[in-house]
Amino acid sequence: MNMLGTIALVTGATRGIGNAIASRLKAHGAELVVTGRDENLLEAWRKEGALAVAADVRDVRQVEELVEAIMKRHGRIDIVINNAGVTQDGLLMRMSDADWNKVIDTNLTGVFNVCRSVIRPMLKQRKGNIVNISSVIGVTGNAGQTNYAASKAGVIGFSKALAKEVASRNILVNVVAPGYIDTEMTQALTEEQRDEILRMIPLGKTGQGEDVASLVHFLVSEQNKYITGQIIHCDGGLVI
């Protein structure tokens, strides 16, 4: 699954799952463009030769400028991984407008902004591959995460519709829905919470960022020519 010569954009690539995905693609030869909020980690990516930009996916203009920079530097965009995401948990009755909007604007509208900006060059190329990162929560729901569940469920519906729109131009659009992956987010859970989660997972363990990265790698590689519009769970069997 050699990625030599491909141009790959990974949003939210400075930590967790996004960093694992970007590292995996780079290790297999992809030319990387990454975004994120940690300037120190962006600088580390620059030293690795990546085009690293602190673009906010909520901001249409910043996204458009990012895509313009990619096209100026590389002339095309082959792969897009929409991974940027946030949580702002709380019970619905206490959830503020700001908490709702921050999660929806980042997790769902951010995917819309990026896809709308990259789809034109992909259509001209008559080829492209988009993977949008959702979550098991977008399928099962979770108390205290109505905003997050809504955003991640929205990513699934959005991706299915987009897959139908662009399939005739040989552009694949898929969704990866991770379960409980060992990242900064899950490390913040209490031991009691982690034990409860593990009891729900048939494999009896949390996943690693590399588990998600290897799945994404397959989906965007030349090995995948016929999978589009799918939601693929990487969750240790949680949804079953």
Residue with tokens 């010569």: 5
DSSP 139-153: HH--TT-HHHHHHHH
- Residues 6 or more apart in contact with residue 159 via CB below 8 angstroms: 130, 132, 134, 173, 174, 175, 229, 231
**Whole-Å CA distances, 166 to 25, 40, 231:** 24, 37, 17
Q: Is 148 among the residues known to form the active site?
A: yes
Q: The tokens 């019970």 sit on which residue?
A: 91
- Element housing 202 (H / E): none
Residue type, 176: V
Pick the catalytic residue: 112, 148, 158, 180?
Answer: 148
Taking the C-alpha atoms of residue 122 and residue 124, their distance in angstroms, rounded to an integer, is 5
Q: Rounded to an integer, what distance in angstroms lies between the CA atom of residue 118 and that of residue 66?
A: 10
Q: Helices marked H in 126-208 — which ranges?
A: 137-140, 146-166, 184-187, 191-200
Q: Which residues are catalytic?
A: 148
